Amino acid sequence: MGKGCLKVFKYVVVHELHGLLYFMSAALLYLVITPTRLYTGNRRKMLFVAILTVLSYFYLFYEHIDPDIYILHLIPVSLGFAVLFEGAIPGICTWFAFNIGSYFFLHNEIAPVVAASSCMLLLGLYAHKRFLEGTLTRKIAISMVLLFAYMFVLLSMKPSLMQHSLFIITCLIGSIFSTWLTHYLYFNVKRQEIVKEKLINAEKYQLIGQLAASMSHEIRNPLTISRGFLQIMRKPSLTSEDLEKYIHFAIDGIDQSNAIITDYLNFAKPHVGKIEPIDINEEIKAVMPFITSLALLSNVDIQILPSDENPLIIMGESKKMRQCLLNLTKNGIEAMPDGGSLTIQTLRSQVGVEIIIKDTGVGMRKEQLRSAGLPFYTTKEKGTGLGLMVVNSLLKSMNGRIYFESKPNKGTRCQIVFKDNGKSMKVSGTV
């Protein structure tokens, strides 16, 4: 008798473990390969369904499955988990997948499984929000209610399952234990994901805070200079020539402070704008008047090479795009104080939509290239060192990437890429 009990116990546990391993692999794989920053909303949920389908296929075709353990353990554990943690779409798809598996592959009776799993699905959909907001203990309590509801409906419609008491008790205990284990694991992995997300945001706010602190320092210098000149201007013995010179210096200092504030605000202000289709070629046309007036002062020749595809559409925000174009072309022109040529090219490549801004200016050495884009890094007397940082931040919000190539005394090539599947793009902050 003892040996028989042990045999049943082992049989159930081994089968439960097999099913559980498949399901947990699907759930954890899903979390690992679909970080929220890359996939959002329904797109992410569809990936859950895809992973579940592939693993269910392997499970149903390559494992030896006990039909009773399947409906007493794997279905309630997986379905409860999917609907409670991930919501409607994954829940409904899991419901479908397991009912199809149960009926078509394992030839279980259809009505009890459909009734029990539907009851669980509906309760899960109802409790989903409360479940997500609750603590781990609350989550497990809600799952237990769902599990018992499932078991109650299943066993009352299929009483034959209760013939082997040891079998059914082991299955029940296994389901309770598996529910607890899956919740505990998933809860912790998900919590890490949330913490990571929060950290990324916190980093940005910390940077904004640091910037604000160093900004006051950066602004104070030009303002002190302006104050000094204004003070000198009080002297009655000044010639009108000197006066003119000092006024010029004082204004310069104030302009410099103003430029720092403008760049900082562009970086720190929350991006509330609407992402919509914009034509890159049109955006370039719109900033041309500003660029040409700058270029005239430095004797720079501008060449525009628009793409064959016209209009060339990306998903973005016109205001941000223009700011990026201005900052980059301004850098290009400023790199050519003795004249040169600036080329702005747009094209559709294999990767997506590209904008290439090339200058024949002073260029950058490797170390300079690494530092460009860091807050307040500038090699210019009147620079703010915030322009490229702003460009990075704006492009990031439009799912764009930026790459630089530069050679000292030869020039700089700046390439902006908007991938076709813009939504899933990652942006490296490096310049």
| Cα separation, 415 vs 411, whole angstroms | 13
Is there a contact between 212 and 260 (Cβ–Cβ < 8 Å)? no
Candidate list 48, 359, 395, 418; residue touching ligand ADP; CB under 6 A: 359
Candidate list 158, 387, 392, 399; residue touching ligand ADP; CB under 6 A: 387
Please give the residues from 99 up to 118 whose contact with ligand ADP meets the rule CB under 6 A. Answer: none
| Cα separation, 81 vs 73, whole angstroms | 12
Question: Residue 376's binding partner, choosing from Mg ion, ligand ADP, none, with beta-carbon cut-off 5 to 8 A by kind?
Answer: none
CB of 390 to Mg ion, least distance (A): 9
The length of the chain in residues reads 431
CB of 25 to Mg ion, least distance (A): 50
| Residue 377 found at the interface with ligand ADP (CB under 6 A) | yes
Mention every residue, 6+ apart, whose C-beta is less than 8 A from residue 139: 84, 131, 183, 187
How many residues sit in the footprint of ligand ADP (CB under 6 A)?
22
Show the tokens assigned to 1.
């008798």
Binding mask 254-293 for ligand ADP (x = CB under 6 A): ----------------------------------------
Binding mask 302-341 for ligand ADP (x = CB under 6 A): -------------------------x---xx--x------
Show the tokens assigned to 36.
């929220």
The stretch among 76-84, 230-238, 242-250, 385-393 that binds ligand ADP (CB under 6 A) is 385-393
| Cα separation, 424 vs 39, whole angstroms | 6
Amino acid at position 341, single letter: S
CB of 297 to ligand ADP, least distance (A): 16
Is there a contact between 222 and 381 (Cβ–Cβ < 8 Å)? no
Closer residue to Mg ion in complex, CB, 341/378: 378
Is there a contact between 144 and 179 (Cβ–Cβ < 8 Å)? yes
Angle between helices 318-334 and 280-298 (to 10 degrees): 30
By the criterion CB under 6 A, which residues form the site for ligand ADP?
327, 331-332, 335, 359, 361-364, 368, 372, 377-380, 383-388, 412
